[in-house]
A and B are shown apart, each in its own frame.
Chain A
Amino acid sequence: GIQVEQSPPDLILQEGANSTLRCNFSDSVNNLQWFHQNPWGQLINLFYIPSGTKQNGRLSATTVATERYSLLYISSSQTTDSGVYFCAVERNSGGYQKVTFGTGTKLQVIP
């Protein structure tokens, strides 16, 4: 099956710093989403981005489908950004669309 790797696995930032999280996938995909799992376990949609670039406030994401990677940018980080960031890809397999999550990047923003 498709492999989805995220880097770095862990990241500690000072409040106000910027960061880039990466998601590499081993095969072509139909869809890609970024999620933030907060410390209470809730999975929050950040971006639905199978290709191109999107921005939402301090966050932006870029997916280059032809090169099989996606980037999530966090600018001016805040303590509320702490948690785990997942990318999830969807690929047609045997006539079905199957979703595979990456292993996540655990982000800690310290004041």
Chain B
Amino acid sequence: DSGVTQTPKHLITATGQRVTLRCSPRSGDLSVYWYQQSLDQGLQFLIQYYNGEERAKGNILERFSAQQFPDLHSELNLSSLELGDSALYFCASSPQGRGIPYNEQFFGPGTRLTVL
């Protein structure tokens, strides 16, 4: 158990809908990362937050957005869903910034999204 939690574990929805995925980082970790794993694209970095602020952006679509709340949990919002958005979405957290210079990432169990 990495200490990172994600809910829900599975999500089935229809095209055009909007969903919210939730992530709670390990206790004390300030950084949260979101990744998408699909069959054709592999593991892709979406976005990083550090202590409530956006820190880095990867291949995140404009239909997707994220935020990190004062209690450090994060949510990834996916809207106008398409069939191609079906994937495993991972959240990771890192202790970097708590006086720790390195950036080892610890992954949650993922949320499997199926868009029908």
A residues with a Cβ closer than 8 A to B are 30-31, 33, 35, 41-45, 48, 50, 86, 88, 90, 96-101, 103-104
Q: Which residue of B lies closest to A92 (CB)?
A: B56
- Minimum CB–CB distance for A39 against chain B, Å: 13
Across chains A and B, the number of contacting residue pairs, with CB separation under 8 Å, is 56
Please determine whether A97 and B107 come into contact, CB atoms closer than 8 angstroms: no
Min CB distance B45 to A, Å, is 5
Contacts A31-B102, A43-B90; is A98 near B45 (CB within 8 Å)? yes
- Main secondary structure on chain A at its contact with chain B? strand
Q: How far is the CA of A27 from the CA of B8 in the complex (A)?
A: 37
- Interface residues in B15-61 by Cβ distance below 8 A to A read 33, 35, 42-45, 48, 55-58
The residue that B55 contacts in the complex, of A44, A45, A50, A96, with Cβ under 8 A, is A96
In the complex, the answer to whether B55 meets A41 with C-beta atoms within 8 Å is: no
**Given A41-B110, A104-B42, does the pair A97, B2 have CB atoms closer than 8 Å?**
no
**Contact across chains for B103 and A90 when beta carbons are under 8 A apart:** yes
Residue ID in chain B nearest A49 by CB atoms: B104
Number of B residues, CB within 8 Å of A? 24
Contact of B43 among A44, A86, A96 (CB under 8 A): A86
**CA A43 to CA B88, docked complex, whole Å:** 11
Residue from B2, B43, B90, B107 whose CB has the most chain A CB atoms within 10 Å:
B43
Which chain A positions have C-beta within 8 A of B112?
41
**Would A98 and B58 count as touching, CB distance under 8 A?**
yes
